A and B are shown apart, each in its own frame.
Chain A
Amino acid sequence: MSRWLLPVWNSFSNGICRIERVSQKEKKVQYFKGKSVYKGVTMGPVVVYKKQGEQVKRKAIENPEAEILRLRQALEMSKLQLDALYEKAVTEVGEASAAIFEVHKMMLEDEDYLEAAINMIRTECVNAEYAVTMTGNNFSQMFSSMADEYMKARAADVIDVSSRLARNLCGQREQGTFMERPSVIVADDLSPSETVQLDKKKILAFVTVHGSTNSHTAILARMMNIPALVSTDVQMEQLQDGMIAIVDGFEGTMILNPDASTCAKAQKRIREEEEKVALLQELKGKDSVTSDGHKVMLYANIGNVGDIGYVLENDAEGIGLFRSEFLYLGREDAPSEEEQFEAYKQAARMMAGKKVIIRTLDIGADKQADYLGLQQEENPALGYRAIRICLKQPDIFKTQLRALLRAAFYGNISIMYPMIISTSEVQRIQAMIEDVRQELEEQGIQYKVPEQGIMIETPAAVMISDKLAPMVDFFSIGTNDLTQYTLAIDRQNAKLDDFYDPHHESILRMIRMVVENGHRHGKWVGICGELGADAGLTEEFVRMGVDELSVAPSMILKLRKIIRETRFKA
């Protein structure tokens, strides 16, 4: 396989783009807007990426069978190249993103595609180059006419493989753009293979006129941590190689020919960003402890098993909120015990002993799950939802509890119950847990009754938290609902934005009250709502004695930095 890497690499020296001197008169400042794919700032010379110029021409041929043989040979060659590209992509951007080249290869193995091209050669007596180009265009049009944005973006993949085939048919080498120094690549569009073939060390940013945020180029840019803009309103003819550009992925802008002060500002931001990234990387593997040695648990919120990758990447110390809804939504019947058991067990395994707090079913009339028989409600936020459904439809709840108790045998799982307002609800849950436990015991199935806690997300639960605390193992404050119920503000209603204050004193007082009541009974207290990730409040929460913060994976290291700079005792 490795011998195929050579031609690909060598092709850089055959590039068609050279860095040229820029004439002075062109140097006026210009601003362009695009859709940002990766947040980062960079500055450097532009390299205009030009596509291979030669158009495939239609030629009449005399021997279709010979032409078909040529096509089959080119096909084999293309597959080998794609294998090599796949290998290169795996080492540079990882297996998941490299999979696109596997898909490319499968497209080349598609019988409908091949048959269409061969038919065209036979019936129209045309050259194979022309046949594959036309076939590629037809298939690509089919994708671009689809409603789904992701599928639309696949049109570019079909074109990419078809032009690879056409190139191999006429014996052209693959070419990359040659870059003397690290540059901002500006292109009409970049195919996945073009993107991967560029020398990663010399790419400062990607800017494309076309392309969607779903394109594989966008995905690759994200994986490579390179600032990138797509759908940018730049006119290619205004650009020349060597012009200086600032690409700002936070703002989604490209500034061409910036003046001295803009340059200085950009340089300062680039330095700051670099420092931030370095600092955050440095914090990986460190404890979340205050400067005076007080430990805070920093956990992540996730919505399905697939998110666990981000959790580990950002070095979360556990999962503080695993929403189990993903198992229930978008399907025709409730998930089976076995299916849930496997999902929970897998999560626990992947977290390898770190805590995984799974929240039981938390849906209401606003979510689609027909099999629950939920009726339309005037006010779903105050309606039949979450623990209320579970207590009214014990079959569904018991299935989940059985799966959780069984999975707890295999890892560090905790259970958390949402929307609690009374001690009797907790008693009913405890009775059901006991039923389930006995059942499992009698059936001789392995299980463990894990740590169990409740969400504090109603003002009612806050006010009786002193009574709830002795009944449970922990509290986790759900600030989103708690804020909505306390302030009587619907967050979906934009008209109320003026009245909405997420830092309202009532909320902060409530959190303090819950922490105090929890601690009085020796129970730990966490926050898993949006407020937990509010960097402006981290210091205050830590000083209040909040034991755990559960936030989006991307916020983990930022909060760790703040915690480490905070003093617990004033």
Chain B
Amino acid sequence: MKSFRYTITDKTGIHARPAGLLVKEARKYKSRIRIKSGEKSVEATGLMAVMSLGIACGQTIEILVEGEDEQMAVAGMEQFFKRNL
């Protein structure tokens, strides 16, 4: 399993639209991708689950990736966060 931490810099946080993009990105990979915020962790492939975390600007989250393409998935997700959030 691989993981990385990221601090949200988008001032609106992970709102509906970015959450949708995030889900789309996560679905590209075979690996299981989870987002951990505080005590809660959800599958990154579920839009409403991701939105339910209510992640705001400045908050640090952890992205956990596990599966056959985890190398690629981590790189892809990291890039996604840097670009969009």
Interface residues of A (CB under 8 A from B): 99-100, 102-103, 106-107, 109-113, 139, 142-143, 146-148, 150-151, 154, 157-158, 304, 326, 330-332
Contacts and interface: CB of A to CB of B under 8 A. Distances in A.
A332 B46 contact: no
A111 B16 contact: no
Contacts of A111: 45-46
A150 B9 contact: no
10 A-B pairs with least C-beta separation: A330-B58, A106-B20, A103-B16, A112-B46, A110-B47, A330-B57, A106-B47, A148-B54, A146-B54, A110-B48
Contacts of B57: 330
Given A111-B46, A146-B54, 16 more contacts: A102-B17, A102-B20, A103-B20, A103-B47, A112-B49, A113-B48, A147-B54, A148-B54, A148-B56, A154-B16, A326-B11, A330-B11, A330-B58, A331-B7, A331-B58, A332-B7
A116 to B, nearest CB: 10
Nearest to A99: B17
Most chain A Cβ neighbours within 10 Å, of B9, B24, B58 = B9
Contact of A158 (B7, B17, B48, B49): B48
A479 B33 CA distance: 51
Interface residues of B, number: 24
Nearest to B21: A106
B68 to A, nearest CB: 20
Contact of B52 (A107, A146, A331): A146
A526 to B, nearest CB: 27
A83 to B, nearest CB: 15
A329 to B, nearest CB: 8
A350 to B, nearest CB: 18
B9 A331 contact: yes
Contacts of B9: 330-331
Contacts of B48: 107, 110, 112-113, 139, 142, 158
B61 interface: no
Contacts of A157: 16
Interface string B46-74: 11110110101110100000000000000
A332 B57 CA distance: 11
B82 to A, nearest CB: 9
Contacts of B52: 142-143, 146
Interface in B1-54: 7, 9, 11-13, 15-17, 20, 23-24, 43, 45-49, 51-52, 54
A512 to B, nearest CB: 38
B interface secondary structure, majority: mixed
30 contacts: A99-B17, A100-B16, A102-B17, A102-B20, A103-B16, A106-B20, A106-B24, A109-B47, A110-B46, A110-B47, A110-B48, A112-B48, A112-B49, A139-B48, A142-B52, A143-B51, A146-B54, A147-B54, A148-B54, A151-B54, A154-B16, A154-B51, A157-B16, A304-B11, A330-B57, A330-B58, A331-B7, A331-B9, A331-B58, A332-B60
A interface secondary structure, majority: helix
A456 B74 CA distance: 48
Contacts of B23: 106
Nearest to A113: B48
A103 B22 CA distance: 12
B25 to A, nearest CB: 12
Contacts of B45: 111
Nearest to A147: B54
A433 to B, nearest CB: 27
Nearest to B45: A111
A154 to B, nearest CB: 6
Nearest to B7: A332
A109 B50 CA distance: 13
A112 B42 CA distance: 11
B43 to A, nearest CB: 8
Nearest to B16: A103
A327 to B, nearest CB: 9
A150 B16 CA distance: 9
Contacts of B20: 102-103, 106
A84 to B, nearest CB: 19
Contacts of A100: 16
A110 B48 CA distance: 7
A150 B17 CA distance: 12
A154 B51 CA distance: 9
A103 to B, nearest CB: 4
Contacts of B56: 148
A239 B46 CA distance: 42
Contacts of B24: 106
B8 to A, nearest CB: 8
B58 A107 contact: no
Contacts of A106: 20, 23-24, 47
A326 B11 CA distance: 9
A459 B80 CA distance: 47
A147 B46 CA distance: 20
A148 B54 CA distance: 7
A287 B73 CA distance: 52
